A and B are shown apart, each in its own frame.
Chain A
Amino acid sequence: MKFTGTDTYVATPDLMIAVNAAVTLQRPLLIKGEPGTGKTVLAHEVARAMNKDLLEWHIKSTTKAQQGLYEYDAVSRLRDSQLGDEKVHDIKNYINKGKLWEAFTADESPILLIDEVDKADIEFPNDLLQELDRMEFNVYETGETIKAINRPLVIITSNNEKDLPDAFLRRCFFHYIKFPDKETMIDIINVHFPDIQNILVREALNLFYDVRDVPGLKKKPSTSELLDWLKLLMVEDMPADVLKSRDPKKLIPPLHGALLKNEQDVHMLERLAFMNRRENR
């Protein structure tokens, strides 16, 4: 089965190859890219396109690799033992399955999303090496070995906050989602808002890429911000010529709050627009 994008997700040819390679060779796929270029969404869409279950494991700074396998709930066992509960004699009652365990033992091979792997401790990926490579692990408390019935497709996203260890990288396919060019962007917009006016899109895109080109922005707006902004424009029923008329009185693009998320950026844009107006006078 080949992944070719879906009706709500535009995949570039290089992305398709990377996904298909990961599916065929059953290796994890590591996705990096600017925030908001659709890294997490990719996993959802691959799951939808291939009609598979999606298991999501969101990583935080406190997440340990062990939590993905299983956790031994010692505290409730201790409590049960003090209360004299019968459950206490079987240790299995206190082993909580993690996402990896669930993925390994699912009936049909699911898709496992390990989201923002770079948030965790620097050693985190190393702790998962064997588990992701051989797709099996040991439960020390009960002595059983959990082995994947069907190898799940593992998709890992990273925001590049930490370097991942080489040994981990060697086992993955890697894809860097670059910021889409104008044509791809139009495809993406068409997929999300099929009934949007063409002129509006064109004007909005021009404005959007103008804003992205402003030097020194702290956080450049990305695809997801553009989509939000377009949604707002549609809700407000903004006529296309408002965007087009570079009215010097209106300093910055309408509803800019959806595009710029940093007050310094807004100030900067205002300043630039102000200077621009003075030049034009």
Chain B
Amino acid sequence: MFTNFFLNLRDHGVPVSLREYLTLMEGMQAGIANHSLEDFYYLSRATLVKNESNLDKFDQIFGHCFKGLEAPEAQDLTSEIPEDWLRKMAEKFLSPEEMAKIEAMGDWDKLMETLKKRLEEQDSRHQGGSKWIGTAGTSPFGAYGYNPEGIRIGQKESRHRRAVKVWDKREFRNLDDNVELGTRNIKVALKRLRNFARQGAAEELDLDDTIRSTAKQGYLDIKMVPERHNAIKVLIFFDIGGSMDPHIKLCEELFSAARSEFKHMEYFYFHNCLYEGVWQDNSRRHQNRFDTYDILHKYPHDYKVIFVGDASMSPYEIVYPGGSVEHWNEESGEVWMKRVLDVYQSAIWLNPTKEAHWDYTHSISLMRELMDDRMYPLTIGGMEKAMKELSRKK
């Protein structure tokens, strides 16, 4: 009887299986949900959702299925625009008196309506207003330090709020897996890339082998093995400067997480696209350069290569010799990328730009093609996919 709900969940990417559905039915039959909608919500949540990052999606779909609300992807003003700057917008476009008035009325729809109207007016008067929305809207990382409660300027004290159902509160919004990346989260994602191997001095007693050998020899024959260590070796190339500046915080976090996760990690910087030289200290980038050829020769081919960059540049910087914005390059970036990819079978590109915007930048598509489609967004979900790709046996 809840097939529709079940199918809806599957359609929206909550991984539910028949088995869980049957468990839910079993639970209903056993009378756990007690025929109250709220209990049913809790029961179905406990049975169908197995990861907190899916809780928010579940809440939305539950609300949609059982209340006939809007579907999650509907072009709804609140869902499209980051809350952080919606609040700023409200401050910018609404006068304090209006804010107070709305607050007194406590009506969310009213606030949105007023805000919308204000924005339209602004738009027709001069274009700066809409451009401002444009830039802020496409910058996915403007949401740092955002306050999920912030948007509720007018709603906080209203009758409306109290009547809101549990699932409509969407308390788990923060746990959705493409929103925020913290160092810890990155570490968890990087942990997927583990390959334990025994290397080095034999310090651990190998019990099984000792027993086998003792039985064979007839006397106590102790066998030792080296301890297990993560044997993954990683080369990371960071794009630095220019268009990467907005993503610095994110990259710092990635860097510090990777630093502590991998014992064998080497990092290098480049600008926009990889050419014949890279550097390790950004302040001395012109003195202390490493030849890219040397790197290709120094690190064996079992290193995994991670590029981090927005790949947003002029296409000439990739395709033509001399295209670099900083210096004269004899060979094109494309050639250098191919050289690296020829040596290292496992390579991926992490892109901090939002995936939805990739198609609008020609150089991103170019780079993606070069990478054989192994470009992933720098979100938890993207990182996990990327790590899965890297750990695939070649």
B263 → A minimal CB distance (Å): 16
Q: Is A24 touching B30 in the complex (CB atoms < 8 A)?
A: yes
Chain A residue numbers with a CB within 8 Å of B30 are 24-25
Chain B residue numbers with a CB within 8 Å of A175 are 46
Q: Is B43 touching A160 in the complex (CB atoms < 8 A)?
A: no
Q: Is A78 touching B211 in the complex (CB atoms < 8 A)?
A: yes
Interface secondary structure of A, over-half rule: mixed
Q: Provide the bound-state CA to CA distance between A215 and B182, in Å.
A: 13
Q: Is A174 touching B15 in the complex (CB atoms < 8 A)?
A: no
Mark B157-200 against chain A: 1 for CB-CB distance below 8 A, else 0: 00000000010000110010000000000001001101000000
Q: Is B214 touching A18 in the complex (CB atoms < 8 A)?
A: no
Q: Is B47 an interface residue (CB 8 A)?
A: yes
> Which residue of the partner chain B has the closest CB to A32?
B52
Mark B128-171 against chain A: 1 for CB-CB distance below 8 A, else 0: 00000000000000000100000000000000000000100001
Given the interface pairs A13-B38, A17-B32, the reply to whether A25 lies near B27 with Cβ below 8 Å is yes
15 A-B pairs (CB sep. < 8 Å)? A14-B42, A14-B166, A17-B33, A17-B39, A17-B43, A20-B32, A32-B52, A78-B211, A161-B188, A169-B51, A170-B20, A171-B19, A173-B47, A174-B49, A174-B51
Q: Is A161 touching B52 in the complex (CB atoms < 8 A)?
A: no
Q: Is A278 an interface residue (CB 8 A)?
A: no
Which residues, 1 to 22 on A, are CB-close (under 8 Å) to B?
Answer: 13-14, 17-18, 20-21
Partner of A30, one of B50, B55, B145, B194: B50
Q: Is B45 an interface residue (CB 8 A)?
A: yes
Q: Is B23 an interface residue (CB 8 A)?
A: yes
Given the interface pairs A17-B43, A24-B30, A178-B172, the reply to whether A172 lies near B38 with Cβ below 8 Å is no
Q: Provide the bound-state CA to CA distance between A162 and B184, in Å.
A: 12
Q: Is B248 an interface residue (CB 8 A)?
A: no
Given the interface pairs A170-B17, A172-B50, A174-B49, the reply to whether A21 lies near B172 with Cβ below 8 Å is no
Counting residue pairs across A and B whose Cβ atoms lie within 8 Å, the total is 75
Which residues, 98 to 117 on A, are CB-close (under 8 Å) to B?
Answer: none
Q: Is B55 touching A176 in the complex (CB atoms < 8 A)?
A: yes
A32 → B minimal CB distance (Å): 6
Chain B residue numbers with a CB within 8 Å of A235 are none
Chain B residue numbers with a CB within 8 Å of A75 are 207, 211
Q: Is A176 touching B27 in the complex (CB atoms < 8 A)?
A: no
Q: Is A74 an interface residue (CB 8 A)?
A: yes
Mark A162-200 against chain B: 1 for CB-CB distance below 8 A, else 0: 111010011111111010000000000000000000000
Chain B residue numbers with a CB within 8 Å of A39 are none
Q: Is B47 touching A74 in the complex (CB atoms < 8 A)?
A: no
> Which residue of the partner chain B has the closest CB to A216?
B145
Chain B residue numbers with a CB within 8 Å of A30 are 50
Q: Is B109 an interface residue (CB 8 A)?
A: no
Top 8 nearest A-B pairs (CB, nearest first) are A169-B50, A17-B42, A18-B46, A14-B42, A173-B46, A176-B52, A174-B50, A24-B30
Q: Is A44 an interface residue (CB 8 A)?
A: no
A76 → B minimal CB distance (Å): 12
Q: Is B355 an interface residue (CB 8 A)?
A: no
Q: Provide the bound-state CA to CA distance between A173 and B27, in Å.
A: 11
Q: Is B15 touching A215 in the complex (CB atoms < 8 A)?
A: no
Given the interface pairs A74-B207, A170-B50, A174-B50, the reply to whether A21 lies near B32 with Cβ below 8 Å is yes
B296 → A minimal CB distance (Å): 33
Q: Is A151 an interface residue (CB 8 A)?
A: no
> Which residue of the partner chain A has the closest CB to B50?
A169
Q: Provide the bound-state CA to CA distance between A156 and B70, in Å.
A: 36
Q: Is B281 an interface residue (CB 8 A)?
A: no
Q: Is B121 an interface residue (CB 8 A)?
A: no
Which residues, 57 to 111 on B, are CB-close (under 8 Å) to A?
Answer: none
Chain A residue numbers with a CB within 8 Å of B20 are 170
Which residues, 198 to 213 on A, are CB-close (under 8 Å) to B?
Answer: none
A37 → B minimal CB distance (Å): 12
Q: Is B50 touching A161 in the complex (CB atoms < 8 A)?
A: no
Chain B residue numbers with a CB within 8 Å of A173 are 46-47
Q: Provide the bound-state CA to CA distance between A17 and B207, in Å.
A: 46
Q: Provide the bound-state CA to CA distance between A27 and B32, in Å.
A: 14
Q: Is A166 touching B15 in the complex (CB atoms < 8 A)?
A: yes
B238 → A minimal CB distance (Å): 23
Mark B1-43 against chain A: 1 for CB-CB distance below 8 A, else 0: 0000000000000010101100100110010110000110011
Given the interface pairs A24-B30, A175-B46, the reply to whether A162 lies near B188 with Cβ below 8 Å is yes
Which residues, 47 to 100 on A, are CB-close (under 8 Å) to B?
Answer: 74-75, 78
Q: Is A160 touching B188 in the complex (CB atoms < 8 A)?
A: yes
Q: Is A162 touching B50 in the complex (CB atoms < 8 A)?
A: no
A268 → B minimal CB distance (Å): 13
> Which residue of the partner chain B has the closest CB to A172?
B50
Q: Provide the bound-state CA to CA distance between A24 and B30, in Å.
A: 7
Q: Provide the bound-state CA to CA distance between A75 and B194, in Å.
A: 32
Q: A169-B51, A174-B49, A174-B51 are in contact. List 14 more A-B contacts (CB 8 A).
A: A14-B166, A17-B32, A18-B42, A21-B46, A21-B47, A24-B27, A25-B27, A162-B191, A163-B192, A169-B50, A170-B20, A171-B19, A176-B55, A176-B175
Given the interface pairs A170-B17, A170-B19, A176-B172, the reply to whether A161 lies near B47 with Cβ below 8 Å is no
Given the interface pairs A20-B32, A215-B145, the reply to whether A25 lies near B55 with Cβ below 8 Å is no
Chain B residue numbers with a CB within 8 Å of A18 are 42-43, 46
Which residues, 107 to 142 on A, are CB-close (under 8 Å) to B?
Answer: 122
